């Protein structure tokens, strides 16, 4: 076998080994407070030899790995103690055992009903709650996990951006490089400076609330694989998973009854008949061509005026960021239309019961 053939058979070394970094980061954290100076020195030396001096790309990714692992350990402690240990502002909220939802005492003296889905999606707006001892234990555990998973994901996104823009700079084209730079800048600012990013978060939250509070419909909303890479290169804003209803006739004999369908969604504020939408179509076609792991990618137009998006966001801020986020400021019939458009490739929009449940659900939030 020639040297060239041997090289082809060897696996390509990844630009950064996250598993190796996680193990070394955990070693470093476990030695904090230890008196074993020899072990500490050994780990410190190994970190520098493997990832370089502070400020270098590999070292910055590794330092973010330490931050991730620290949160993982804190998550375990928080789950054991039943409360979030994160040093962030947390709002007090009461659980109503009869209504099976929560009561939020507002500064204006009235109490607002808050669903579990509202609390879960408020995490995306950086709002956290202190759940009392009377809150359902199972939900409390879900909530704590979701809070920490969201915080950990922020560090992971930062790692991936450094990986793609610095370690793998020569492997990506100029368009992707500039896109990653924009995404990185948006992450630093919280992603709330553009109408598109704000509305994307609102739409995901609307769907996630419905998925969480109406589990009977078998709807799930997930992030793209590899998060920011799936977003930038795969053009996937979010993933919809839906279990088909066994009572509905399935014409495609290749799909078993009750199987879970997966829809990769890219959505835009631009109308179907605009040049901007055509540009998005070309980007989606390119993503499908270059990413063989992506089979179904659906581009959906949800045209909403920027003034409406910013208006609801400012209205929500003015009202002390009440639980539920700015997405609850949309009228219920408008939200139903959003859902009809985004879920048009599922059987859910053909269900009167589903649409009535959604309408009534969001009417009660205004």
pLDDT of residue 273: 86
CB atoms within 10 A of CB 311: 13
- Beta strand 101-105 with 90-96 is antiparallel
pLDDT per residue as tens digits for the range 64-106: 999 999 999 999 999 999 999 999 999 999 999 888 899 998 8
Q: Would you call 324 helix, strand, or coil by DSSP?
A: coil
- The angle formed by the CA atoms of residues 328, 334 and 339, to the nearest 5 degrees, is 90
From 170-174, 188-192, 212-216, the region with the lowest mean pLDDT? 188-192
Give the start-to-end residue ranges of the domains of the chain: 16-81, 90-363
Q: Which residues contact 9 (CB under 8 A, 6 or more apart)?
A: 1
* pLDDT average, residue stretch 157-182: 90
pLDDT tier, 276 (very low <50, low <70, confident <90, very high otherwise): confident
**Cα–Cα distance for residue pair 200/272, rounded to 1 Å:** 17
Average pLDDT, the chain: 87
Distance from the first to the final alpha carbon of the chain: 71
Instruction: Flag whether pLDDT at 254 surpasses 60.
Output: no
The CA distance from 120 to 129, in Å, is: 10
Asked if the model's pLDDT at residue 28 lies above 50, the reply is yes
Length of the chain: 366
Q: In the predicted model, is pLDDT for residue 6 greater than 60?
A: no
Q: If you search the block for the tokens 């088909």, which residue do you land on?
A: 244
Of 57-66, 115-124, 165-174, 248-257, the one with minimum mean pLDDT is 248-257
pTM score of the predicted model: 0.86
Could you read off the pLDDT of 286-300 as tens digits, one per residue? Answer: 777 776 666 678 888
Write out pLDDT tens, residues 342-360: 998 888 988 999 999 999 9
| DSSP letter (8 states) at residue 166 | I
CB 310 within 8 Å of CB 199: no
Cβ-based burial of 102 (10 A; exposed 0-12, middle 13-18, buried ≥19): buried
Q: Is the pLDDT of residue 12 over 50?
A: no
Dihedral in degrees, nearest 10, Cα atoms 326, 331, 336, 338: -50
CB 214 within 8 A of CB 357: yes
The rounded Cα 9 to chain-centroid distance in angstroms is 36
Kindly give, in sequence order, each residue whose CB lies less than 8 Å from that of residue 43, ignoring residues fewer than 6 positions away: 24, 27, 28, 31
pLDDT of residue 258: 58
Residue range 177-193: mean pLDDT, rounded: 79
Per-residue pLDDT, 13:
56
- Please give the residue that has the higher pLDDT: either 170 or 307: 307
271, 301 Cβ separation under 8 angstroms: yes
Residues 6 or more apart whose CB falls under 8 angstroms from that of 119 comprise 93, 102, 129, 143, 323
Q: Which residues of 126-158 are buried (b: 16+ CB within 10 A; e: fewer)?
A: ebbbebeeebeeebbeebbebbbeebbeebbbb
- Greater confidence (362 vs 284) lies with 362
């Amino acid at each position: 076998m020639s040297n060239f053939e041997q090289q082809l058979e060897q696996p390509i070394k990844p630009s950064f080994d996250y598993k190796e970094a996680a193990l070394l980061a955990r070693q470093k954290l476990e030695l904090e407070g230890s008196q074993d100076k020899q072990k500490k020195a050994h780990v410190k030396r190994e970190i520098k030899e493997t990832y370089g001096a502070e400020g270098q790309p590999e070292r910055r990714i590794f330092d973010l790995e330490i931050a991730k692992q620290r949160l993982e350990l804190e998550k375990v402690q928080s789950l054991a103690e039943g409360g979030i240990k994160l040093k962030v502002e947390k709002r007090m909220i009461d659980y109503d055992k009869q209504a099976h939802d929560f009561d939020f005492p507002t500064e204006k003296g009235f109490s607002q009903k808050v669903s579990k889905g509202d609390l879960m999606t408020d995490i995306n707006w950086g709002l956290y709650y202190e759940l009392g001892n009377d809150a359902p234990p199972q939900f409390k555990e879900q909530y704590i996990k979701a809070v920490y998973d969201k915080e950990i994901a922020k560090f992971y996104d930062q790692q991936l951006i450094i990986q793609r823009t610095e370690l793998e700079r020569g492997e990506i084209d100029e368009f992707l490089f500039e896109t990653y730079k924009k995404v990185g800048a948006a992450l630093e600012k919280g992603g709330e400076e553009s109408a598109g990013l704000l509305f994307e978060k609102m739409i995901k939250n609307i769907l996630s609330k419905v998925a969480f509070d109406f589990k009977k419909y078998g709807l799930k909303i997930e992030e793209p694989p590899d998060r920011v890479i799936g977003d930038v290169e795969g053009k996937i804003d979010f993933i919809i998973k839906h279990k088909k209803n066994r009572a509905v006739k399935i014409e495609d004999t290749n799909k078993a009854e009750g199987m879970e369908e997966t829809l990769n969604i890219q959505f835009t504020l631009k109308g179907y008949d605009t040049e901007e939408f055509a540009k998005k179509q070309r980007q989606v076609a390119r993503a499908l061509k270059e990413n063989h792991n992506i089979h179904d990618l659906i581009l959906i137009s949800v045209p909403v005026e920027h003034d409406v998006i910013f208006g609801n966001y400012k209205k929500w801020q003015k009202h002390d960021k009440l639980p539920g986020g700015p997405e609850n400021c949309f009228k219920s019939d408008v939200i139903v239309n959003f859902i009809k458009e985004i879920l048009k490739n599922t059987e859910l929009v053909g269900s009167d019961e589903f649409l009535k449940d959604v309408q009534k659900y969001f009417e009660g939030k205004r």
